[in-house]
Amino acid sequence: MKIPRIPRPEIGSISLSAIVALYLLLATNNSFWAHASVYFVHARTSLLAFAAALYLALFAILTPLSVKYLMKPALVILILVSATAAYFADTFGIIIDRDMIGNAAVTTQAEASHLLTFSLARHLLVYAVLPSILIVWVRVRHRRFLPKAAVNFAFVSVSLLVGAGLIYANFATVAYALREHTDLMKRFNPSGPLIATVRYGLSTYRERNLVVRPLGTDAHQGARVAAAGKPVVVVVVAGETARAMNFSLNGYERETNPELKALGVVNYRNTTSCGTATAVSLPCMFSVYPRSQYSDWKARSTENLVNVLTHAGVSVSWWDNNTGSKGIADLISFASQTGRKNSPLCNNGECLDEILLGDLDRKLGAATSNSVIVLHQLGSHGPSYYLRYPGAFRRFTPDCRTPELMRCSTAELVNAYDNTILYTDHILASVARLLEKHQDRIAGAMIYMSDHGESLGENGLYLHGAPYVIAPKEQTQVPFIAWFSEPYQAAMGVDAGCLAKDADKPKSHDNLFHTVLGMMDVETRVYNRDLDAFAACTRPANKEHQPAPGYHAAQNGEPASSAGGPQEARWAPGVL
């Protein structure tokens, strides 16, 4: 039996461009329109004019692409990009900006796998695959070159003129909305993610021949550390996705920090991050630049905290249980924990943070020199929060047991996240106890800062990575905790009681660079005592060893500022 052949429908190239433009505008921009309706809440007429102008602009862009052999691939790619971006925007409230593209570019297979869910596949099937099949299936009528060019030019010209007229007639309202809400056009598909990708590509191209300038080459260790009588060891724990408001040390109603509370740590309750994603915050934390001056280019082209410590003769190691150091540890000892085989703490390329503790115990037991050890946690990284803690720390139940967060209730989601904080509490307390265990032979201290926070559905946002200008406090308020062994306090002149009284004063990621230098008694012109969170409660060895709070930038010429203190910290790359 012969199966009847279904005739392929035929459509003109201009008509197909108009239909696809309408599809992109309406089917892949739910998040955009949800925010636009709020931003134009008192100007519905202007919103309609803005929508019409956007449609005409999309149509004007697609029409020149309506060339034989180019049109269908181009339309399919645009639909795929728009549908993918729409899923993450609609599901997690994510904005696909340059930083988010950077995060995606450096993610690991294990990390990415948590986002490749059935919900994503179903969404792409409906909003990308099926429309693409229709586009490939239909026959497209094309005019000859010169008539086609003339017709396309006419349609594009009229569309742009009418669109410009609509914007001009509503200019004050549209300009105000876009100026006050810079996130809006970043949400628009497909232009938002495409522009972000181009910006990321250009910045990566720019950095291809990057030369890292030396920083703090005058660094040396001071009198206190020299007179300690035993190796001084500071463990810097770089947290992941921990938000301050879920720490019971900060007043959270649940007891998520029982072990740290028992240790009597110093806890800073008002600390802000440099960014809302690891690719931004982590390099910024270890950079000499405060957030007000920080840029990815500056961070990559200048040595950082670990390099200054090395210049001072401090042994520095970076142990990573995350997705890498983001370039920070390129010039020091680096060890990734995620590739370990046959460990009960590891599965599918990811390990529980306890993987860091065994090696730390051995390292501390064999320490013979002044050292800084950086532990980069996996912490509370989502969306698979339930994989970040073992069964013994599944205290808050029922907890969300899937990366598809929309399938969980708010209570289940918060329970899973709180379990990750409870486990981080155990990891930090374990680090402190290991330092205490070896205090007969080392003077040890621990400092902990998270790179950024996390949204758990507040205001429709999930995960992190929101542009800083609109980021909620859930993503920018981070925990900052310190612990000092008795030998360290005695050797370095640290008054923990004094620090506890100072715990309510605002701190930020700007403080980490100078605080760690101070903890290791490193003297250098790039050290700023006013940005050292512990300096006010640390007894100087003697007056002549007091480091200068800053100096003039001979080349850079940019004033530094920080919430951590009023004193400017200026420096000149390449002259130290």
- CA-nearest of 157, 165, 151, 152 to 52 is 165
Q: Is 557 exposed, middle or buried (0-12, 13-18, 19+ CB in 10 A)?
A: exposed
Q: Is pLDDT of 562 > 90?
A: no
Report the pLDDT averaged over residues 55-61: 96
Specify the residue for token string 């004193």: 567
pLDDT band at 572 (very low <50, low <70, confident <90, very high): very low
- For β-strands 480-484 and 462-463, DSSP reports them as unpaired
Angle at 485 between CA 481 and CA 488, to 5 degrees: 105
The two beta strands, 232-239 and 443-450, are parallel
Q: State the alpha helices, DSSP H only, in 454-522.
A: 473-476, 486-492, 496-501, 510-519
Q: Which residues contact 385 (CB under 8 A, 6 or more apart)?
A: 399, 400, 413, 416, 417, 419, 420
Nearest Cα residue to 449 out of 308, 306, 300, 282? 282
Specify the range with the lowest mean pLDDT, choosing from 126-130, 394-398, 526-530, 565-569: 565-569
Match 């919103």 to its residue by tokens. 47
Pairing mode, strands 266-268 and 480-484: antiparallel
Place 356 in a pLDDT band, splitting at 50, 70 and 90.
very high
Residue 569 has pLDDT above 50, yes or no: no
pLDDT in tens, 183-231: 899 999 999 999 999 988 888 787 777 889 999 999 999 999 988 999 9
pTM tops 0.75:
yes
- The larger pLDDT score, comparing residue 500 to residue 284, is at 284
Kindly give the pairing relationship between strand 522-523 and strand 462-463: unpaired
The four Cα atoms 531, 533, 538, 541 give a dihedral, to 10 degrees, of: -30
For residues 170 and 227, give the distance between their C-alpha atoms in angstroms, rounded to a whole number.
71
Q: How far apart are CA 370 and CA 278, in angstroms?
A: 28
560 pLDDT more than 90: no
- Calpha distance 90→491 (Å, rounded): 54
Q: Are 264 and 533 in contact (CB under 8 A)?
A: no
Amino acid at 429: A
The two beta strands, 507-508 and 271-272, are: parallel
Residue 292, C-beta contacts closer than 8 angstroms, at least 6 positions apart:
560, 561, 562
Residues 557-560: contacts with CB under 8 Å, at least 24 apart: 558/293, 560/289, 560/290, 560/292, 560/293, 560/528
> What pLDDT does residue 108 have?
73
Sorting pLDDT into bands at 50, 70 and 90, what band is 542? low
Q: How confident is the model at residue 561 (pLDDT cuts 50, 70, 90)?
A: very low
Please report the pLDDT score of residue 545 as a whole number: 40
HEC letters along 326-340: CCCCCCCEEEECCCC
pLDDT tens per residue across span 88-138: 999 888 888 888 888 787 777 777 888 888 999 999 999 999 999 999 999
Contacts of 308 by beta carbon, 8 Å cutoff, 6+ apart: 215, 216, 219, 288, 517, 522, 524, 526
